[in-house]
């Protein structure tokens, strides 16, 4: 069951991994792409789905995987219906975010619990925080296809009008305050590069973003210009990700998968990921990244790719989910 914003990329990976285990998988979401759309699950839905509609959707399910619906209070009515429907049913609650990790939701209670549910977090920080609130959880980090194709650098740069001798710094994210666009712009200026913001402004951040980019001291590229993500990474010379908070931060791992140097912010989960052995640059100090760009060391890129392959490859997900399901006694495999 996808979150209020639809079935996420990570949820789709889980669906594929469960299918590899021989389970029949049906995806459900409030909008976007899914096998079944229940509009009342969407974040902006005027009313939640009925208990009967959700119950009918789940009537043949042996196991329900809930993606963030019961994590953040984005649609309280839908969360209440899903909670009631799932009581005494085997379920995995996959938490990407938790209320107290967002200032606007800090006063909300922890996710609901049931003896037949298993809580799964995408980082150890969230697992510990749930534990502090009396909820036992398991950490399963996000996974990535570390054998993904190499991107097409030259065509992407040509489409953007970026010359071969111009440094291009990719900020592969949407624009909201915690993504720290000012920090990314400062870093681009310090290393003499063009700043490329891949995603749009959200949550009312548009006017502030417009002002920041209009006042920028470096050339700016906005939007994907029809360029696929893999080609965007190939086109850039470095990835900037100076976020102040992320539940995980997929671009950090994508930079390793696509063999690009990364300058990353000091958000808590970044330190957790760094402990696996990645060699990343601090976003707050442009010196180390600037030095690397002057004399690129491809061994660093190979090292980061190897770490990502060892610990975060999508091929490992089916076995991890099988162990989780067997240990929890959720479904007979």
Does 188 have pLDDT greater than 80? Answer: yes
Distance between CA atoms of residues 255 and 308, nearest Å: 10
Q: What is the pLDDT of residues 221-234, one digit of tens each?
A: 999 999 999 999 99
Does 163 have pLDDT greater than 80? Answer: yes
Distance between CA atoms of residues 89 and 307, nearest Å: 37
Q: Which of 111, 66, 123 is nearest to 89 (CA)?
A: 66
Residues facing 282 on adjacent strands: 264
Does 110 have pLDDT greater than 70? Answer: yes
Place 38 in a pLDDT band, splitting at 50, 70 and 90. Answer: very high
Token pair for residue 21? 């285990």
pTM: 0.93
Report, as an integer, the average pLDDT of 203-214.
97
pLDDT of residue 44: 84
Name the residue ranges covered by the structural domains of the chain: 9-143+315-328, 153-311
Q: What is the pLDDT of residues 239-264, one digit of tens each?
A: 999 999 999 999 999 999 999 999 99
pLDDT of residue 7: 44
Q: What is the pLDDT of residues 258-291, one digit of tens each?
A: 999 999 999 999 999 999 999 999 999 999 999 9
User: What average pLDDT does the chain have?
Assistant: 94
- CATH code of domain 153-311: 3.40.50.2000
């Amino acid at each position: 069951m996808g979150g209020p914003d639809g079935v996420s990329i990570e949820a789709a990976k889980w669906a594929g991994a469960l299918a590899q285990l021989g389970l029949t998988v049906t995806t459900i979401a409030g909008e976007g792409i899914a096998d079944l759309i229940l509009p009342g699950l969407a974040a902006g839905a005027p009313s939640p789905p009925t208990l009967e509609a959700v119950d009918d959707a789940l009537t043949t399910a042996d196991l329900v995987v809930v993606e963030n619906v019961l994590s953040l209070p984005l649609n309280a009515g839908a969360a209440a219906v899903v909670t009631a429907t799932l009581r005494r049913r085997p379920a995995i609650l996959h938490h990407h975010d938790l209320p107290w990790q967002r200032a606007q939701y800090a006063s909300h209670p922890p996710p609901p619990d049931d003896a037949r549910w298993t809580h799964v977090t995408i980082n150890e920080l969230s697992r510990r925080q749930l534990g502090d609130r009396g909820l036992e959880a398991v950490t399963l980090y996000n996974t990535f296809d570390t054998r993904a194709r190499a991107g097409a650098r030259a065509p992407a740069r040509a489409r953007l009008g970026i010359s071969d001798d111009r440094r291009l710094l990719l900020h592969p994210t949407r624009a909201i305050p915690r993504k720290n666009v000012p920090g990314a712009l400062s870093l681009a200026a310090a290393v003499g590069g063009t700043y490329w913001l891949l995603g749009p402004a959200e949550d009312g951040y548009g006017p502030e973003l417009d002002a920041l980019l209009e006042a920028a001291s470096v050339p700016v590229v906005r939007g994907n210009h029809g360029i696929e993500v893999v080609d965007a990474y190939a086109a850039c010379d470095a990835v900037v990700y100076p976020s102040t908070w992320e539940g995980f931060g997929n671009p950090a791992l994508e930079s390793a998968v696509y063999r690009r140097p990364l300058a990353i912010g000091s958000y808590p989960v970044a330190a957790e990921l760094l402990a696996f052995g990645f060699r990343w640059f601090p976003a707050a100090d442009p010196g180390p990244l600037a030095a690397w760009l002057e004399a690129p060391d491809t061994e660093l890129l190979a090292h980061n790719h190897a770490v990502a392959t060892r610990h975060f490859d999508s091929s490992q997900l089916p076995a991890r989910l099988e162990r989780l399901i067997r240990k929890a006694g959720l479904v007979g495999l």
